[in-house]
Structure 1
Amino acid sequence: MPEGDTVWNTARVLDRLVGQTLERGEFRVPRLAGADVSGWRVAESASRGKHLLLRLLDKDHEPWTLHSHLRMDGAWRVYKPGERWSGRPAHLIRVVLRAERAVAVGYHLHELDLVPASREGALVDHLGPDLLGADWDPAEAVRRIGQRPEREIADALLDQRNLAGIGNLYKSETLFLRGINPWRTVGEIVELEKTVTLAQKLLAANKGRWSQATTGSLRRGEQHWVFERAGSPCRRCGTTIRRSKQGDHERISYWCPTCQPGTESPAGQGRPTLARD
């Protein structure tokens, strides 16, 4: 699943539309099939956690927001006019925005909405502080996480209502670097602010590049400490990295049993495996 840095980078790709007037828009989802954005000006491309916000001005200069979410498999690509679209199969296209100097194509987008700017808040105001946004506030993130001290820390970090932008990769890498077992509860974590601050630094380090590295190395196979390394030796101690489903949504957690000591599944629900990813 794309995480906050990937979404931020995608917003920068869509910056190529900013300042241009749309010649035509094609929406290939039923509820927006009749929407006409021709003549609208692209004012800004922004991200909020894992949400993309393309801000537009209609012909009467009224502000609108085109909101999309990438979820697991969504993507935006921007091409030159006349350039062949090579991003994904054509049947996955959900929206095409044509301007004089660029064509933006949205593939397999989710939660695609075109709303007046006054309603943008209804789509994103539930989110916690954005790790890559101007509103980033580690103290507020800690306050929100701390409201449920009984919750497993891995699930708390993934909850976008606590802080916006962390996915499975940064959850796993942050907890490894802090030496925290994913099944420890929020109430057990000492200096929680250091944990969310580290997560923010890891995401920020990958702004502007598509390769997500947390080890300092961009070489293939060396980018991560534990993420997608089940069955491989820990880079610090040599212990075999493990993986297990965790939480109500059964997201995968990766961890080193030696560097992150603790019970793997307090509720007896986890089934740790050693299979390679």
Structure 2
Amino acid sequence: MPEGDTIRRLAERISDRFLGQRCARSFARDPRITHLDLVGATLTGVDAVGKWWLLRFDDGRTVYGHLRMDGRFDLGRRSTAPEWQRRLELEMENGWMTAIDMPNIGVVATEQEETIVGHLGPDLCAAGPPDVGQITDRLVSNEDRPLAGALLDQRNVAGFGNVYAVEVPFIAGVSPHQPVDSIRDLDSLVAAGSALIRTNMGRSHRNTTGRRLHTTNLWIYGRQNRPCPWCSTTLIGAGERDVPWGRVSVWCPSCQAIEPQRTVDVARIERALILHPARKRWPVEHPPADADDAAPN
């Protein structure tokens, strides 16, 4: 499932190409929007909130959607996908914008967008950096919920997907299974994750290591049963049915061990980000609270 940085990049691509243009032809084939006709309407805004995309038009309506696993946009030439997959086609002045296989799509009055995205937590990929303290408070309110599950809950924080739910705990030296209310200096972990996703939303690829490798740009995601890049212990992998948060997961049983109380390893975060441009955002955008008290595990 695309993560918040991917949706933000998509919104910027649509905006760069079509913002301010009028719709010349409109075809809506999804049963939820068959009444929609945007001919003559001008695209006045394109936005992303968490994993939701929003297209605002000057007639007071907003078309919204969620890509989930299979959805995508074709931009430019008219899509060659089968017609039944083209849920929404809009011919703009500078080409076509086509929503393909969109599992969630709808239209709402622009003034009522909150009914669609108002339940979401702070948006990691918004124009300005999110309030790390607010996100941390929302996560801790989950009490004994596993860290990965709390990070993936968009009501706590909007934008993290499964890649970050694997990579960010690893970078911070905390197990994805660690209960959130037993993690000290959790705001440093949140700040590191925010710095990564906000940096990646401005890049053409997702990278958490700062390195450009032929095999992967990620620390451990998809690398189960291989040596941990930090301590060489064999990484453990789990399927969707094997963890409470219902997503594939990977972790190191040694340097991400579960403990009654676990402190985020700030020094490890600094080392992990040393080659990554996200280091310029962390801790500058998000100064870790009580960083001097956070002892590496």
Q: 1:26 to 1:84 in 2, by over 3 A?
A: closer
Structure 1 partner of 2:74: 77
Report if aligned partners of 2:5, 2:125 keep a CA contact under 8 Å in 1: yes
Report if aligned partners of 2:226, 2:235 keep a CA contact under 8 Å in 1: yes
Structure 2 partner of 1:10: 10
Structure 1 or 2: more helix by fraction: 2
Report if aligned partners of 2:123, 2:130 keep a CA contact under 8 Å in 1: yes
Alignment partners' CA distance in 1, 2:32 and 2:71: 18
Provide TM-score, normalisation by structure 1: 0.87
Report if aligned partners of 2:78, 2:96 keep a CA contact under 8 Å in 1: no
Q: Specify every segment of 5 or more residues in structure 1 that has no aligned partner in the other structure, as ranges.
A: 264-277
1:1-277 equivalent positions in 2, closer than 5 A: 1-15=1-15, 16-58=17-59, 63-79=60-76, 83=77, 85=79, 89-133=82-126, 134=128, 136-245=130-239, 246-262=242-258
Cα displacement (A) at 1:135: 6.7
Structure 1 SS opposite 2:198: helix
Give the letter aligned to residue 93 of structure 2: E
Moved more, 66-75 or 212-221: 212-221
Structure 1 partner of 2:272: none
Give the letter aligned to residue 179 of structure 2: T
Alignment partners' CA distance in 1, 2:153 and 2:216: 28
Cα displacement (A) at 1:54: 0.7
Output one character per residue of 1:66-94: Cα deviation in whole Å (capped at 9) or x when no partner: 10101112111211xxx3535x5544221
Provide TM-score, normalisation by structure 2: 0.82
Output one character per residue of 1:228-264: Cα deviation in whole Å (capped at 9) or x when no partner: 111222212222221114544521121111221127x
Moved more, 13-22 or 88-97: 88-97
Structure 2 SS opposite 1:154: helix
Give the letter aligned to residue 71 of structure 1: R
Moved more, 88-97 or 169-178: 88-97
Alignment partners' CA distance in 2, 1:74 and 1:45: 17
Alignment partners' CA distance in 1, 2:79 and 2:201: 25
Percent identity (aligned): 35
Alignment partners' CA distance in 2, 1:183 and 1:219: 28
CA RMSD of aligned residues (A): 1.6
Report if aligned partners of 1:46, 1:54 keep a CA contact under 8 Å in 2: yes
Output one character per residue of 1:166-221: Cα deviation in whole Å (capped at 9) or x when no partner: 01101110000000011110111111111111111111121233421101123331
Cα displacement (A) at 1:45: 0.7
Structure 1 SS opposite 2:237: strand
Alignment partners' CA distance in 2, 1:156 and 1:45: 28
Q: Specify every segment of 5 or more residues in structure 2 that has no aligned partner in the other structure, as ranges.
A: 260-297
